[in-house]
Chains A and B, each alone.
Chain A
């Protein structure tokens, strides 16, 4: 039971029920689609880059609590960041949710996903938005897949 509460923390449930930055962006400069074939989740991400930084971003799609909350919290965490910043943050986030590199630096609100490391099959849910964002800002046109 403690594990479950670790996974489904209030902040995650809040972002699942009321996702921030949901929708699309008409003047997006970058976009990508992400798929999680395991559960049929789909995510569309729209990004507006300006002077090498993420000025704004939105996401659309249907997913589980973990993937939706992850997308929502990610959009808050990466606004104003450069491509290099985002990649560095994704690396730390990935280490956090897979439980590799125990401890690590405090990722602020994203710490809420550290419980995911106890649920290996859910790592893909937590990282779908990040993979999609990476594809978007690297300019890949293809759909990214967690498989």
Chain B
């Protein structure tokens, strides 16, 4: 594992934990140890307060009201868009489309950017994708006859770049890859993959659902065409996410869903669509979600993503060493560049049983296929147990995980 960044943690994790009310919860009489951050993260008070305050002081529909509250709500909504643009270092806030989450963002690109694709056109993904970056392309394959290509991964869980390059061709319309794998923790070498894709004339979509909470992202430095992420994995609310798209592409793309707010004028003969990003935001949006996303972005940028990355990297190194000591434990995903995800199996114990026993100790982890069944199949397993770290986790929590796993061993002795 490569050191994510050189800087040491620049924040006091004990103080940070106080910002997250849920972390003082007890589960089955034990203090909650929340290690399921790759599924969803907990929310700081600032996010919860912003959403409550929106309903208590601001609630109204946006973009069309002339009254005071509507104007304030619209302003807060668009301020969040600007914040999201800065967060990704997008050139312009109009490149930020609010969606339900990364899944919807990918589906939007598939249905809209892919609208003109013909049979034989290709999309290239990798073997470590989440189902949400597989199924939208299969839908196009089954309805339109496009071809889905899959770049293999090696035993460490790293994409085999030579194979990735070999699978690129003039038929490749889009390369759509995870920035960070949810099942294995692999940080893909997206900079190189984007260069290779460019060389073949393909556009690039990065699924950043697992990346944005763990590392700084700069879409202009990356030069990707699309970037998708979900708010709820970034300490923000569920049901809100972002699709970044280069303005030139978004402008050319046809609308995805029709309705209010995405039009300039409507008659039965002719409808004129709104400008981007509104063209892609039909209907009343998830206003309180957007309002809640803004303080989440502030929160992680306030701590500093480099500091968060360093903190989580420390936990990953510490936990990898501690778990490796446990007899019969095997870690899946040993990429050299890895985010805070530990997928593992314990010989003779099904992951589901591990999850139940750890839960009794107050430990929340994920068990199952993690919506990445092809990854499981690659390793010849049905499921793993997965501990994933967030900015508020601590070494004593890792120790609790290790103690819990010893407890699992005892029960199944």
Contacts and interface: CB of A to CB of B under 8 A. Distances in A.
Interface of A: 1, 3-4, 7-8, 13, 17, 38-42, 62-66, 68, 119, 121-122, 125
B184 to A, nearest CB: 16
B292 interface: no
Given A39-B369, A42-B382, A66-B352, 20 more contacts: A3-B360, A4-B356, A4-B360, A8-B353, A8-B357, A8-B412, A17-B348, A39-B350, A39-B368, A40-B376, A40-B383, A41-B352, A62-B382, A63-B350, A64-B350, A64-B351, A64-B352, A65-B353, A68-B350, A122-B352
B176 interface: no
Nearest to B412: A13
B369 A40 contact: yes
28 contacts: A4-B356, A4-B357, A4-B360, A8-B353, A13-B411, A13-B412, A38-B368, A39-B351, A39-B352, A39-B368, A39-B369, A39-B382, A40-B368, A40-B369, A40-B373, A40-B376, A40-B383, A41-B352, A41-B382, A62-B350, A62-B382, A63-B350, A65-B349, A65-B350, A65-B353, A66-B352, A68-B350, A122-B352
Interface in B336-383: 348-353, 356-357, 360, 367-369, 373, 376, 382-383
Contact of B356 (A40, A41, A62, A122): A122
Contact of B411 (A4, A66, A119, A125): A4
B135 to A, nearest CB: 14
Interface string B382-404: 11000000000000000000000
For the complex of A and B, 5 pairs with smallest distance between CB atoms: A64-B350, A64-B352, A40-B382, A39-B352, A40-B369
A116 B352 CA distance: 14
Contacts of A63: 350
B356 A7 contact: yes
Contacts of B411: 4, 8, 13
